[in-house]
Structure 1
Amino acid sequence: MSLNVVNLVGRVGGEPDVKFFDSGSTKCKLTLAVKRPTKDSDQPDWFNLELWGNEARIAADYVHKGSLIGVQGFLKFETWSDRATGAERSSPVIQVNRLHLLGSKQDNNASTGAEYREDEF
């Protein structure tokens, strides 16, 4: 048996990168900062998220830099060849199946114009 499940809660690090395709599909990429308690302070871990379809459209409409969200999904690795060296590269990405908007409506409205600071998530 194998299991690949990721659950994260954190703050969005930037505005969503949304792409609409001629086929009708929607893709959204986000970064998510999640606190990791350490001995001296809370350090953020940064995750790259990828959302498709309805979840991507919801993110495009309601998620902004600094928004508090929860996600459920799985870990995958994007791979490519480096153009300069030809070396194989990879990057971990969380493929999101479910998006949860956790901040209040007031928080989401305020985050559209507010600067995001790592110490506030």
Structure 2
Amino acid sequence: MSLNVVNLVGRVGFDPEVRYFESGKVKCTFTLAVNRRSRNSDEPDWFNLEMWDKTAEVAANYVKKGRLIAVQGSLKIEKWTDRNTNAERSKPVINVSRLDLLGSKRDNEPGLVSGYSGGNDEF
């Protein structure tokens, strides 16, 4: 049996970057700062997030830097060759399948979507 599920709650590090492709697909990326449960560390852990299609559109429209969100997705490792040094590089990325906008009512704008699952409701 295999299981690759990541659940995170944190604050958005920068406004989402959105790319629209000729195929009609939409990709949205941004970072998420997540505080650890221990009080020994003031520095958050940073995660790279990637979402596609309808989830990406929701993020592009409603997610802003500093916003408290929850995400569910899977971990993948992106690999590439550095153009300058020809060194093999990699970074972990969370491929988000569910996005929930959190925070107080004061943080939310009227009519704001409170959550979106990219079509997979089996969580």
TM-score, length basis structure 1: 0.83
Two-structure CA RMSD over aligned residues (Å):
1.4
In 2, the alpha carbon distance for the partners of 1:54 and 1:46 equals 24
Q: CA deviation at 1:38?
A: 3.3
List aligned pairs for 1:1-121, cutoff 5 A.
Answer: 1-104=1-104, 106-108=106-108
Paired AA for residue 84 in structure 2: A
Q: Which runs of 4+ in 1 moved over 3 A?
A: none
Q: Greater helix percent: which structure?
A: 1
Q: CA deviation at 1:105?
A: 5.1
> Structure 1 regions of 5+ residues with no counterpart?
110-121
Q: Do 1:64 and 1:108's aligned partners in 2 also have CA atoms closer than 8 Å?
A: no
> Structure 2 regions of 5+ residues with no counterpart?
110-123
Q: Do 1:62 and 1:108's aligned partners in 2 also have CA atoms closer than 8 Å?
A: no
- Between the two proteins, what is the percent identity of the paired residues? 65
Q: Do 1:75 and 1:93's aligned partners in 2 also have CA atoms closer than 8 Å?
A: yes
